[in-house]
Chain A
């Protein structure tokens, strides 16, 4: 069961997202994460989808996705060298002595504090998933008030592009 990150270029049409998510639930494929937004050309959206499966399942997933009429093009980024980044916003308790500790820890992980209250910091952090996991692990469970993660985005290394 390998993890695959698939980038999908699709028509920016109402319902396009549900065609993809519906395909996964109907055929019993896993979705670990899914993130989508319009591209620089507003008629298209780009979706990044993380899934797991053996070779046959991934082959079926890419074929079935390609078969969707709204899907223009897709690439399995895991097949080549690529970069992944995920954004996390995490709200942590920051009171008394802990206030400095949290700040120092955020600095080490190159996170930015983007909101401050009397007893909390909200930290913005990007990186691959394991870095974000590592930051969470360094905090005590009771320190964390709330986390929100975007799911990974991916792009191939080098000059190649996924375009029409």
Chain B
């Protein structure tokens, strides 16, 4: 089979099993778009801004576990994609981004729509390639998918100059079955000796805690984690990225930890003598002040990326390997050796944890006439808990309220930008999820500031009939910015008020969608019912919430886990134990 470079790209994507590509055409990728036009299997989704293409592909990847694929042109196409690439990089999301480039003879001449894409994206990709010969396209694409989805996943950029895709130059095509790279060989199995040592330490511990992150989701290790937690009876806390990897409605789950984690999770971190970190990277929003982090604990850290181990916090037993494989080994050893946890100590430990739990740190007061954002999320849960439901989020207070108040029981159901914190992520990410699961119920919880960052994608949703539910918690502020200004800048709300807001209902309607405005707490339940009953329509729910509600508990940046601000609903605002 003789194909042109452009046809090879399309064929290689098909051979890789790709069903959707999110993209935007332009000069340097015209040959590729022509090849897309002349076939039907590979479906291209036309976004309205390249940033949205990357977020949509990212959402697809987070929901399915398969790499998301993006196609954009050179210059501004590539630079617009950078935010989405960096978002995926920070959360280790597998993605392959194909960027057009100016023809090879003019590279470096400041040609029209030329940027050094490989240079610009280098710090925010797992790897990138510039393909200079048509003969190299197929193998490079194979490598790109291999690198993106193996080891610690991440985005890979493949930059392809226009002349390399010339429709008049045809070469024999074959897609490699597999690639081997001498410089890249991700680890699979963990070291048996280390695993054995970890099991002994865990079983002997008096106050152990599992601290588990996005790596459990990415590594498809939720089943193993559930088995391990239930077998040992050890409390488990999830990071923002790990929500759903352990069922939030289970009693052994003590909530999210970190800056806006639960009182019980953070206190348990502070008091534990044995921390078992699984697929988590000791992010600063989780650790708080390093010097006060888990002061009494020995630490086991299971991670596929050796560079994540002892990066910010020294650990006692590092185990490098795929989380799934390591947890299976752990479970096998426990079974083989009939290991038993330290039950009397654990019982005492649970007593303490339940004491912390009884403070009900997430309590809020929904007695007034304005809708509390927490209430809006709880009602969302009530409306969707029996559905095949996915929730994407933007960034800010609404994201934290959703993380705190929507109990996720399955992995890949909570989709948000944790590492980079990209406002504008939620709507396009939801498009990717809905595309992957057309029959699922997909909502995006957002704020009136975040949603405006990619609002143009309402057109894409119309074009492809994506019946998303936009749950806008509209408090008229950039809520998290305002909260910090209230706490740390004496209430000087510098530029955090979102003035001149559009009429979101009319806006949604102008794109051909359904708009709703809800400002009475009593109307929420019915509104959700009505919205989610419209299975084939996008419904934009503009929920007017209490403008000055804060997210509690809160650990200030640079403070320890035991130094939480508690909600004013509690007797003492700041709890120091």
Contacts and interface: CB of A to CB of B under 8 A. Distances in A.
Are A and B co-members of a single complex? yes
B123 A22 contact: yes
Nearest to A27: B123
A15 B122 CA distance: 10
A69 to B, nearest CB: 4
Contact of A60 (B118, B123, B307): B307
A71 interface: yes
A2 interface: no
Interface range on chain A (Cβ under 8 Å from partner): 20 to 34
A19 B130 CA distance: 14
A80 B149 CA distance: 36
Contacts of B130: 14-15
A15 B119 CA distance: 8
A69 B306 contact: no
Given A67-B305, A67-B307, A69-B126, A18 B119 contact: yes
B305 A19 contact: no
Given A22-B122, A59-B310, A63-B306, A164 B127 contact: no
A64 B122 contact: no
Nearest to B126: A69
Contacts of B184: 69
Interface in A91-123: none
9 closest cross-chain pairs (CB), A and B: A63-B307, A69-B127, A72-B183, A26-B123, A69-B184, A67-B307, A63-B306, A64-B307, A22-B122
A78 interface: no
Interface residues of B, number: 18
Interface string A2-25: 000000001100110011001000
A70 B183 contact: yes
Contact of B306 (A10, A15, A66, A72): A66
Nearest to A59: B310
A38 to B, nearest CB: 15
Contacts of A19: 122
A140 interface: no
Interface of A: 10-11, 14-15, 18-19, 22, 26, 56, 59-60, 63-64, 66-67, 69-72, 164
B317 to A, nearest CB: 16
Nearest to A64: B307
Interface of B: 118-119, 122-123, 126-127, 130, 147, 181-184, 305-307, 310-311, 314
Contacts of B182: 72, 164
A14 B267 CA distance: 50
Contacts of B181: 69
A157 B367 CA distance: 77
A162 to B, nearest CB: 14
Given A18-B119, A69-B183, 11 more contacts: A15-B122, A18-B122, A19-B122, A26-B123, A59-B310, A69-B126, A69-B127, A69-B184, A70-B183, A72-B182, A164-B182
A21 to B, nearest CB: 10
Nearest to A16: B183
A60 B311 contact: yes
Contacts of B147: 69
B183 to A, nearest CB: 4
A11 B307 CA distance: 21
Given A14-B130, A15-B118, A69-B147, A56 B183 contact: no
A71 B122 contact: no
A96 to B, nearest CB: 49
20 contacts: A11-B183, A14-B130, A15-B119, A15-B122, A15-B130, A18-B122, A22-B122, A26-B123, A56-B310, A59-B310, A63-B307, A66-B306, A67-B305, A67-B306, A67-B307, A69-B126, A69-B147, A69-B184, A70-B183, A71-B183
B21 to A, nearest CB: 23
Nearest to B123: A26
A14 B123 CA distance: 16
A157 B570 CA distance: 67
Contacts of A164: 182
Contacts of B118: 15
Contacts of B122: 15, 18-19, 22
A69 B119 CA distance: 15
Nearest to B184: A69
B347 to A, nearest CB: 38
